[in-house]
Amino acid sequence: MLINWFRFSSPVSFYPLAGSWSYALGALAALLAGAGLVVGLWIAPTDATQGDAYRIIFIHVPAAWMAMFIYLVMAGWSAATLGFNTRLSAMMAQALAPTGALMAAIALWTGAFWGRPTWGTYWAWDARMTSTLILLFLYLGVIALRSAIEDPRRADRACAVLALVGAVNVPIIYFSVQWWNTLHQGSSISFTAAPKMAMTMFAGILIMTAAAWCYTIAIVLARVQAIIVERERGAGWLESLIDLRAGGNA
């Protein structure tokens, strides 16, 4: 089964592909999330030191990982935009940013709710949380720059440069915040000191991470479809596609 991948590099041909994959992965994400929550909320044992409050890590950890991964993927698509000057790679980068920001926000929010019962404080300026907060700012910056530039092609390339500059800085930021934190706080409060992992807990986190991946891809593909419609407005192929849909089966 040889697929000519380059056939899908134009928004025209990618549109229907995005649609079917989006539905498929969305369904898979729902299944995995269901399984993961069953594992996390019922099957995994209660932790000795943290009680049941620790269970929020089944959302917190996947979200934090996804926030990082999505930025790297966005940077990858940005590099493709600058290197090959393709429209679709820019649209993928544009579609990834809001989901990445959402993941970072979820990580911060759930982290706060983990911190409260466990260490008595919502926000403790620990290294990972602070880095995630700065990562959220980087996402918001890319989104803000996109909406501030009128011409879509110029916005594509400007956001690509910003995403790449941010990507180079992310390791530096993580390192510097880690350094700052160890100098000032010691390790009294650290989100890396998660409860010692029973196998079921680890499995639960992995399942939830897989669910998060599927969800991310599904929602990003759906968002890319919306972006394609918005930006290719006026191109003939779109009208004919809608005519087909209205006339025939969806």
Partner 1 sequence: MSPAILLEARRLAAQRGNARLFAGIEFTLATGEALVVTGANGSGKTTLLRIVAGLTIPAEGEIRWRGKATHPFDAHLREAVAFNGHSPALKDELSAEENLDAWTRLYDRGLAHERIADALDGVGLFGQRRLPVRVLSQGQRRRIGLARLALVRRTLWVLDEPLTALDAQASGVLGALLDAHLDAGGLCVAASHQPLPIAADRARGLVLGEPA
Partner 2 sequence: MSRAPRQRNANAGALRDAPAEAARSAGVDDARASVLGAIGWALARDFRVALRSKGELGVQLLFYVIVVTLFPLATSPSPEILATLGPGVLWTSALLASLLSLPRLFASDYDDGTLEQIALSPRPLVALVSGKMAAHWLTTGLPVAAMAPLLGSQYALETPMLGTLTASLLLGTPILSLLGAVGAALTLGARGGGTLLALLVLPLYAPVLIFGAGAVDAVRAGVSATPHLSLLAAGLLLALVAVPFAVAAAVRIALD
Residue 1 structure tokens: 């089964």
Closest listed residue to residue 189, CA positions, set 131, 136, 121, 132? 121
- Give which of partner 1, partner 2, none residue 202 binds (C-beta under 5 to 8 Å, depending on kind): none
Closest approach of Cβ 85 to partner 1, in Å?
8
Residue 163 structure tokens: 């995403």
**Segment lying near partner 1 (by CB under 8 A), choices 23-31, 75-83, 131-139, 147-155:** 147-155
Name the burial class of residue 132, with classes exposed (0-12), middle (13-18) and buried (19+) by CB atoms within 10 angstroms of its CB: buried
Nearer to partner 2, 134 or 229 (CB): 134
**Segment lying near partner 1 (by CB under 8 A), choices 1-9, 102-110, 118-126, 226-234:** 226-234
Binding map of partner 2 across residues 71-90, x = CB under 8 A, - = no contact: -----------x--------
The full DSSP string for 129-190 is HHHHHHHHHHHHHHHHHHHH-SSHHHHHHHHHHHHHHHHHHHHHHHHHHHHHHHHHHTTSS-
**β-pair partners for 51:** 47
Binding of residue 236 to partner 1 (CB under 8 A):
no
Binding of residue 238 to partner 2 (CB under 8 A):
no
Residue 58 structure tokens: 């089944």
Residues counted in the chain: 250
- Please tell me the distance from the alpha carbon of residue 123 to that of residue 133, in angstroms, as a whole number: 11
**Segment lying near partner 2 (by CB under 8 A), choices 46-54, 99-107, 116-124, 157-165:** 157-165
Binding of residue 165 to partner 2 (CB under 8 A):
yes
Binding of residue 105 to partner 2 (CB under 8 A):
no
Contact pick of 7, 116, 153, 245 for partner 2 (by CB under 8 A): 153
Binding stretches for partner 2 (CB under 8 A): 82, 134, 137-138, 140-141, 144-145, 148-151, 153-154, 157-158, 161-162, 164-166, 168-169, 172-173, 175-177, 179-180, 183
